[in-house]
Amino acid sequence: MSNIVAIVGRPNVGKSTFFNRLIQRREAIVDSVSGVTRDRHYGKCDWNGREFSLIDTGGYVIGSDDVFEAEIDKQVELAIDEADAIIFMVDVETGVTGMDEDVAKLLRKVEKPVFLAVNKVDNSKRSEDAVEFYSLGLGEYYTIASINGSGTGELLDALVEALPEKEEVIEENLPRFAVVGRPNAGKSSFINALIGEDRYIVTDIAGTTRDAIDTKYNRFGFEFNLVDTAGIRRKSKVKEDLEFYSVMRSVRAIEHADVCLLVLDANRGFDGQVQNIFWLAERNRKGIVVLVNKWDLVEKDHKSVKEYEKAIRKQIEPFTDVPIVFISALTKQRIYKAIETAVQVYENRSKRIKTSELNEVFLPLIEHYPPPAYKGKFVKIKYIMQLPTPQPQFAFFCNLPQYVKDPYKRFLENKLRENFGFTGVPISVYMRKK
């Protein structure tokens, strides 16, 4: 289980710069995911072998100054509830502000590790100015400069040392299906509809931490764990609709799932919040099934389904090979179809393709449509294999991997989908030196 670290603080203190800096460090090691230039408020970070999820609350606050204060308070409270450690960022240029004091007041009561990071300290004069932040009553502080990274090492050393060790839970190897989505989309109703009068249910296992309730479910001869992110701990209504809340809540569930069932309210559509959760699952390389709930309440004609689907696919480009099922948790319409689809996606995600078969299909194809020449140099792909990872990743060995650009990789991905059926599953295509 990875820990969650939240970065809090008022606007413009440099939270996002700091966040991007840490995420980049991680992405320098791992191949970065192309085609996802969407909001980057969530990422994975690895420091000295300890991996944690990082959430930048900054990107979720939108509004005028007076709205800001209320929103920031909500986010800090949420971060306190959900994160394992908190980085509270302040700005040495402006000194201590009233809003900083408000946030500090909330953080002083916290039992979790809180790290006060004084940003924009890039010379010794500013280092002296930072002393005034002792007045926030949070003890030691760390002086950093997000822009060039100075001081972040000490902060991260202290942070990973303080992160609670997550107990590795030894679980049965059952597939995990997480039901995610924004508040009030009908996640709980969907799960209740499945489990309601269903005598196949085996046990209720309370989540190992307080995050999610797992229900072991057995139907159609297929056994899996259903993870409900909805009914975890009811928060006061105020926070229900906070975008940050949906994402924060979904992070853990998505990270530990095999397939995510993304439930959305047909009347609200595939809005920003739903998209955030979709890309979160995609970035984590999970199987995805989109469930359009409350379909019984929508006025429709024979074209409605096609048009609705088309609109969703337009918004999830370039990853459009995702099953969309129209359901009603209330009338139980197509809820078993939803589960069957999830099972299919799970099987697609665990699919292994023989190297001989891959080469048989792809070598003639590539000969026919080779990668475009770059600066007069021709790329020759010699050999293809699937990597031994939990989700589908393929290595194409060639003479000049650096010259193969994204559009061609996407072409290869589409051909993999066409020939081998990977609906609902993100695929990674890597070019390697032969």
Answer yes or no: is 185 a known binding residue. yes
User: Is 59 marked within a binding site?
Assistant: yes
At CB < 8 A and 24+ separation, what contacts does 301-307 make? none
153 is in an annotated binding site: no
Q: Is 164 annotated as a binding residue?
A: no
Query: Residue 109 annotated as binding?
Result: no
**Is residue 57 annotated as involved in ligand binding?**
yes
Q: Where are the beta strands (DSSP E) in 50-140?
A: 50-56, 85-91, 114-119
| 354 carries a ligand binding annotation | no
C-alpha to C-alpha distance for 109 and 112, rounded to whole angstroms: 9
DSSP assignment of 336-352: HHHHHHHHHHHHHHT--
259 has binding-site annotation: no
Beta strands 393-398 and 50-56: pairing type? unpaired
Residue among 351, 343, 341 nearest 394 (CA): 351
The answer on whether 15 is annotated among ligand-binding residues is yes
Q: Are 175 and 219 in contact (CB under 8 A)?
A: no
* 188 labelled binding-site residue: yes
**181 among annotated binding-site residues:** yes
CA distance 118 to 90: 5
320 is in an annotated binding site: no
Q: Is 183 marked as a binding-site residue?
A: yes
Q: Is 381 annotated as a binding residue?
A: no
How many Å is the maximal CA-CA distance in the chain? 70
**Secondary structure (3-state) at 107:** helix
Per the annotation, does 122 bind a ligand?
A: yes
26 is annotated as contributing to ligand binding: no
Is 80 part of any known ligand binding site? Answer: no
Q: Please indicate if the annotation marks 58 as binding a ligand.
A: yes
Strands of 184-326 (E only): list them.
Answer: 204-205, 213-219, 222-228, 259-265, 287-293, 324-326
User: Does 287 show up as a binding residue in the annotation?
Assistant: no
**Would you say 414 is a known binding-site residue?**
no
Strands 114-119 and 287-293: unpaired
The structure tokens 């679980």 sit at: 171
> Which residue bears the tokens 């292994």?
352
Cα torsion through 287, 293, 296, 300, rounded to 10: -70
- 374 is annotated as contributing to ligand binding: no
184 is in an annotated binding site: yes
Task: List Cβ neighbours of 377 (8 Å cut-off, separation of 6 or more).
Answer: 400, 403
Q: Is 232 annotated as a binding residue?
A: yes
* 228 is an annotated ligand-binding site residue: yes
Strand extents, DSSP E, 199-331? 204-205, 213-219, 222-228, 259-265, 287-293, 324-326
Closest CA to 54 of 15, 12, 92: 15
Please tell me whether 430 is known to bind a ligand.
no
Q: In this structure, what token pair is assigned to residue 79? A: 């971060």
What residues are designated binding site for GTP? 9-16, 56-60, 119-122, 181-188, 228-232, 293-296
What residues are designated binding site? 9-16, 56-60, 119-122, 181-188, 228-232, 293-296
